Amino acid sequence: MLNIKELVFSYPKSNFEISIPSLDVKEGESLAITGPSGSGKTTLLNLISGILQSKSGEIHIDKNTISKMKEDESRAYRISKIGMLFQGFELLEYLSVYDNILLPYRLESTLRLDEIVYARATELTSVFGIADKLKKYPSQLSQGERQRVALCRALITGAKLIIADEPTGNLDPKNTTLVADMFLEYLKKEKATLITVTHDQSFAKRFDRQIDFMQLLQERKDV
């Protein structure tokens, strides 16, 4: 599913640089990346999803070379093929739960909102236990419920690669367990690949594989 080779990235006007010799993630695998704050974990996720462009090296997702795509191309690929899950959930406050879940289809003209998508939305909300909240707004939901809406949004396009940045960072332990169980079980069923950055060791242990980010790096330059 994912293949990284000799990836090098640095921010402009900064001495911060990350360099990853290689990383392979199989289809259907769940990978948790742990490491200290500021080490570049989120930067790696942004490189994989095409939000950032690497200085050199290659990132392949299936047969697509993300690292060589132009901005518009990688953006279109991301919205339709990669499910994004953010630490703060990042729901749009003025959209209902249902509209938040369907958001990718309203933002990308190549994605068609049809009966299949509506059926998928119904299935997801049922699986994640928020089917009765569809008309509510994010401000009316608990943190756990908001996270589940964000999960549904990440999965609505049927993406086979899910990238999650600290998905349980704002949840209490009870909700962490609840969300993690639902999420990982669903992904296993869909044979989707999950790459997560997390500080939560108990959450990381549920994944197929754990990697310490510092071990991934070839050499880290920092001032």
Partner 1 sequence: MSDLFYLLSRYLLFYRTKIITLSFSLALVIAIPLGLSLLSNMLSDHLKTRALSTPLLLGAKGSALDLSISALYFGEQELPVMKYKRVDELRKSNLSEAIPMYRKYRVKSSPIIGTDLDYFDFRSLFFKEGRPFIRIGECVLGSDTAKKLDVKVGDTLISSPESVFDIAGAYPLKMDVVGILAPSLSADDLAVFTDIKTSWIIEGLAHGHEKLEKTPSAILKREGETLIANASVMEYNYITQDNIDGFHFHGNTDAFPINAMILIPKDHKAKTLLMGRYMSDHKSLMLIEPKKVIQRVLERVFDIKDVAMSVLLLLLAATFAISVLVFTLSIRLRKNEIETLKRIGTSKFRVRFLLLSEIITVILISTVLVFISIMITYLFGDSLIYYFL
Q: Which residues bind partner 1 (CB under 8 A)?
A: 49, 51, 72, 75-80, 82, 84, 86, 88, 90, 92-96, 99, 103-109, 113, 137
CA dihedral of 66, 67, 70, 76, whole degrees rounded to 10:
20
Phi, psi dihedral angles at 180 (to 5 degrees): -60, -45
Nearer to partner 1, 15 or 139 (CB): 139
Q: Which is nearer to partner 1, 111 or 184 (CB)?
A: 111
Q: Kindly state the tokens that stand for 154.
A: 């990440």
**Could you tell me the two tokens for 131?**
């089917």
Q: How far is the CB of 112 from partner 1 (least distance, A)?
A: 10
Which tokens hold the place of 115? 């009966």
Q: Who contacts 208 (Cβ-Cβ below 8 Å, separation ≥6)?
A: 29, 30, 31
Tell the smallest beta-carbon distance from residue 212 to partner 1 (Å). 25
Supply 75's token pair.
Answer: 């953006």
Q: Cβ closer to partner 1: 76 or 134?
A: 76
- CB-nearer residue toward partner 1: 64 or 96: 96
Residue 182 in contact with residue 171, Cβ under 8 Å? no
Please, which residue, 90 or 212, has the CB nearer to partner 1?
A: 90
Q: Least distance from C-beta 57 to partner 1, angstroms?
A: 22
Nearest distance from C-beta of residue 80 to partner 1, angstroms: 8
User: Shortest gap between Cβ of 76 and partner 1 (angstroms)?
Assistant: 7
What's the min distance (Å) between Cβ of 51 and partner 1?
A: 6
Question: What letter does residue 212 receive in the DSSP assignment?
Answer: E
Q: Phi/psi at 90 (nearest 5 deg)?
A: 55, 55
Which residue has 């990669």 as its token pair? 82
Of 104 and 144, CB closest to partner 1:
104
